[in-house]
Amino acid sequence: MTRRVPSPTSGPQKADVITATLAMARSHHTQGRLGLAEGCYRQVLSLDANNAEALHLLGVVALQSNAAEDAVKLIKRAIRRSPRDAAMFVNLGAAHRKLKQLAEARDAYKAAVKLVPQFADAYFNLSKVLLDLEEPAAAVEAGQKCVSLDPKRAEALLILGNAYKHTGDKSRALAAYEEALRLAPQLAEAYGNVASVHIDRCEFARALELLNQGLAIDPHSGDLKVKRAMVHLRMGNLAQGWDDYEGRYSAEFETMPRFDAPPPYWNGEDLGDKTLLVGCEQGIGDSVIYGSMIGDAVARARACIIECTPRMVPVFARSFPTAKVVSYVSQRERTTPASEFDTQIGVTSLGRFFRRDMADFPRHRGYLKADPARAAAFRARYQAIAPGNLVVGLSWRSVNKKIGEPKSADLADWADVLKVPGVTFVNLQYGDCAADLKAAKEKLGVDVVQDPDVDSMKNMDDFFAQVAAMDLVITTSNTTVHVAGSLDIPAWLILNTSLSALWYWFLDRTDSPWYPSVRIFRRPTGETDMNTADWWRPAVKEIGKALTAKVQGSG
C-alpha cells in the first residue's frame, strides 16, 4: 500500500512532500506497479489539484490500464497547465488512437513535432496513424523523418516500409524491411514484412522461408500465421493453410472476435447430439463463399444455428431450411444465448474440417437460393427490353477500404465488352453508379440498365434474385461474383492476380473449386507489374472476344 504522508501546512514543506511523492510514484510506475503509482499521483493531486506532471502520468496509468477515455481527460488537463510539453501530446495521441479517434491522434502527434522538431518518437507514431488514416504519402514523409533522426530503430523502418508499400513503391518498401531485419534479426515482425513483398511478387518459396523463420522466433504470432496461411491456401496446401488461419483471432491487423467459451469451440468431434452455432465473419462476400460449407455442418449436427448480418437472413433461411437463422447486432456480439447451443465456430473455420483437400469441394448446382418468383420477374423485365438478347450483368469495382482500388476498373473503358452486339447489359454494381453509367453512355453510346427496384446495399434478397435472372455475369472480384457462383449462374471473373488476400482463386486456374459456374480471366503470364491502373485491360479484351463468340453461338 502507498504510505500516506500527513498533509503539510507550510508551502516549502508541501513542495518537498510533492517532490518526494512524485519520485516515489515514478519509481513505482517504472517498475510496473501501476496501482501504487496511481495512489501516489492522486496523493500529489490532493495537495496540488493542477500539478501537470501528476495529471499527465496519472493519464498514462489510465492508458496502460485500458481506461483511454480517462487518459484523454487527464492528459488534456495536464496540457492546459503545461502546453509546451511535447511528451504529453505524444501520450494524448496514444490515448486517442486507442479510442480509434485517428484524426485527433494525428493532431496530437503533429503538435508534438511542432514543439520538438527532433522528436523521433512523435514522428514514429505520426507515421503509424497517418497510415491508419490512409494518408500514405504523408506517412512516408513522417517515417523518413523518424528514420533520419533514429536510423537504427528497426520498428520505424517497418512502418516506413509499410508506407512505401501503400504508395506502390515496393522496391523501397523491401529495402526498408530488409534494413530493419538487418538491424534486428530477432524481430519476428520484420520477417513477415519482407515476406509480404515476396508474396505480392508470387515468390512463395522465399515467403514461406521467411515466415517460418519469424515463427521460430515468435511461434504465437497471429500476424505471421495469417500471412503463412494466405501462402499455403493460395498454393492449394489447404490443410496447412486452414490450421494457420486460426491465427486470425490474435492477429493485430484482423478484427475477428473469438467469443467467450463455454460453449466450447467445435474441434471436429461428433455433432450427432449437439447444437452447433455457426457465426458469419468478415464481409458479405466472405459469408457467401464460406457459407458453401454450412450445408456440411447442418448435415452433421443435431441442430444448427446461423448468425449472420441482417441482410443475409432471408437468403440463408431459404437455403438452409432446417437451420435456425438469426441476425447479429454486430460481428462482435453473440445474439443467441449460450444456453441454446452446445458448441460454436466461425464460418471460415469450417474449412479446417470440410475443405482440407481439393477433392473435398463438391460440384454443386447452387447452394444458396434466390426467391424464384422474384428472379422470374426480373428476367421477364430484362428480356422484354430487347427480346432475343443475352442478359448480362456487370460489376466493375470493390469498395473494400484495404484492397478495393486494385480490384476496381472504370466501366467506360470496357469498350471491348460493351460494344458487343446482341446483349442487354444490366448494372449489378453496388453503391452509387450514376457517374459510371453516364460516362459509359457518353463515351461508348451504351445504355446499361439501372433497375430502380434493387439496392443491394440494403436488400441482398433482391440482389440474389436479380443475379439469378442473368444469362451471364461479368465482374471483378467482389460480392457479385460470389453471389453468382453461389447460385450457379455463369460468371466471368476479371482477376488481379497480385492480390494475396484473394487466395481462394488459387494460382493459374481458369476455374474455381468453390464455384463450378465461374470462369477466371487473369492477367497474362509474364506481366509482373500487376498493380497499374489498367491491370484489367488484357482480360477485358479476352472477355470481349469470348462474349462475341457466345452471342454468335460458338462460346
pLDDT in the model for residue 332: 74
Does residue 273 come out as left (phi exceeding 0), alpha (psi in the -120 to 50 range) or beta?
alpha
Residue 507 DSSP class: S
pLDDT in the model for residue 555: 58
For residue 138, the tally of other CB atoms under 10 A from its CB is 16
Confidence of residue 256 (pLDDT cuts 50, 70, 90): low
DSSP result, 225-293:
HHHHHHHHHHTT-HHHHHHHHGGGGG-TT--------SSPBP-S---TT-EEEEE--S-HHHHHHHGGG
Does residue 356 share a domain with residue 386? Answer: no
Q: For residue range 268-279, list pLDDT tens digits in order.
A: 999 999 999 999
Most confidently modeled range among 45-59, 298-312, 387-401, 534-548 = 298-312
Nearest to 449 by CA among 382, 533, 543: 382
Q: How many domains is the chain built from?
A: 4
Does residue 378 share a domain with residue 488? Answer: yes
pLDDT in the model for residue 497: 73
Q: What is the mean pLDDT of residues 111-138?
A: 95
Which CATH number characterizes residue 350's domain?
Answer: 3.40.50
* Inter-residue contact 523 to 539 (CB < 8 Å): yes
pLDDT of residue 13 exceeding 70, the answer is yes
Name which of 271-280, 418-427, 442-451, 533-542 the model is least confident about: 533-542
Q: Is residue 177 one of the residues assigned to a domain? A: no
Does residue 353 share a domain with residue 381? Answer: no
pLDDT of residue 120 exceeding 70, the answer is yes
Q: What is the mean pLDDT of residues 10-14?
A: 72
Confidence of residue 221 (pLDDT cuts 50, 70, 90): very high
Residue 304's SS3 state is: strand
Q: Is residue 464 one of the residues assigned to a domain? A: yes
Residue where one domain finishes, among candidates 59, 85, 117: 117
d(CA 529, CA 368): 37
* Inter-residue contact 343 to 277 (CB < 8 Å): yes
Q: What is the mean pLDDT of residues 439-456?
A: 89
d(CA 43, CA 8): 12
Cell of 354: 470440410
Does residue 320 share a domain with residue 469? Answer: no
Confidence of residue 288 (pLDDT cuts 50, 70, 90): very high
pLDDT in the model for residue 249: 85
Residue where one domain finishes, among candidates 298, 326, 360: 360
Residue 363's SS3 state is: coil
Q: For residue range 378-416, list pLDDT tens digits in order.
A: 999 999 999 999 999 999 876 655 654 666 677 888 889
pLDDT in the model for residue 399: 64
Name which of 34-43, 114-123, 543-552 the model is least confident about: 34-43
Q: What is the mean pLDDT of residues 221-231?
A: 94
Domain containing 27 equals 1-117
Q: What is the mean pLDDT of residues 315-343?
A: 91
Q: What is the mean pLDDT of residues 74-93?
A: 95
pLDDT in the model for residue 526: 44
Q: Is residue 462 one of the residues assigned to a domain? A: yes
Confidence of residue 258 (pLDDT cuts 50, 70, 90): confident
pLDDT in the model for residue 508: 86
Q: For residue range 372-383, list pLDDT tens digits in order.
A: 999 999 999 999
For residue 510, the tally of other CB atoms under 10 A from its CB is 11
pLDDT of residue 8 exceeding 80, the answer is no
Q: Is residue 178 one of the residues assigned to a domain? A: no
Q: What is the mean pLDDT of residues 447-469?
A: 92
Please state, for a pLDDT cut of 90, what percent of the chain lies above it.
71
Please state, for a pLDDT cut of 70, what percent of the chain lies above it.
92
pLDDT in the model for residue 542: 92
Does residue 423 share a domain with residue 330? Answer: no
468: which residues sit within 8 A by CB, 6+ positions away? 370, 375, 378, 379, 487, 489
Does residue 513 share a domain with residue 378? Answer: yes
Is 439 or 468 the better-scoring residue by pLDDT?
468
Q: Is residue 424 one of the residues assigned to a domain? A: yes
Does residue 544 share a domain with residue 489? Answer: yes
Confidence of residue 2 (pLDDT cuts 50, 70, 90): very low
Does residue 401 share a domain with residue 543? Answer: yes
Q: For residue range 415-437, list pLDDT tens digits in order.
A: 899 999 999 999 999 888 888 88
Q: What is the mean pLDDT of residues 110-139?
A: 96
pLDDT in the model for residue 531: 47
For residue 263, say if its preceding peptide bond is cis, omega within 30 degrees of 0. yes
d(CA 484, CA 466): 10
Does residue 377 share a domain with residue 519? Answer: yes
362: which residues sit within 8 A by CB, 6+ positions away? none
433: which residues sit within 8 A by CB, 6+ positions away? 427, 450
Does residue 406 share a domain with residue 356? Answer: no
| Strands ordered across the beta sheet of 343-346 | 324-327, 303-308, 275-279, 343-346
Q: Is residue 261 one of the residues assigned to a domain? A: no
Q: What is the mean pLDDT of residues 517-521?
A: 96
DSSP result, 427-485:
E---S--HHHHHHHHHHH--PPB--TT--TTT-HHHHHHHHHT-SEEEEESSHHHHHHH
Q: Is residue 153 one of the residues assigned to a domain? A: no
DSSP result, 317-345:
HHH-TTSEEEE-S-TTS--S-GGG-SEEE
pLDDT in the model for residue 252: 67
Does residue 430 share a domain with residue 308? Answer: no
Which CATH number characterizes residue 196's domain?
Answer: 1.25.40.10
Residue where one domain finishes, among candidates 332, 360, 388: 360
Annotate 5-22 with b (16+ C-beta within 10 A) or e (fewer): eeeeeeeeeeeebbeebb
Does residue 421 share a domain with residue 348? Answer: no
Name which of 157-161, 248-252, 268-272, 352-356 the model is least confident about: 248-252
Cell of 405: 482500388
φ and ψ of 326, to 5 deg:
-130, 155
Q: For residue range 165-208, list pLDDT tens digits in order.
A: 989 898 999 999 999 999 999 999 999 999 999 988 889 999 99
Q: Is residue 44 one of the residues assigned to a domain? A: yes
Which CATH number characterizes residue 409's domain?
Answer: 3.40.50.2000
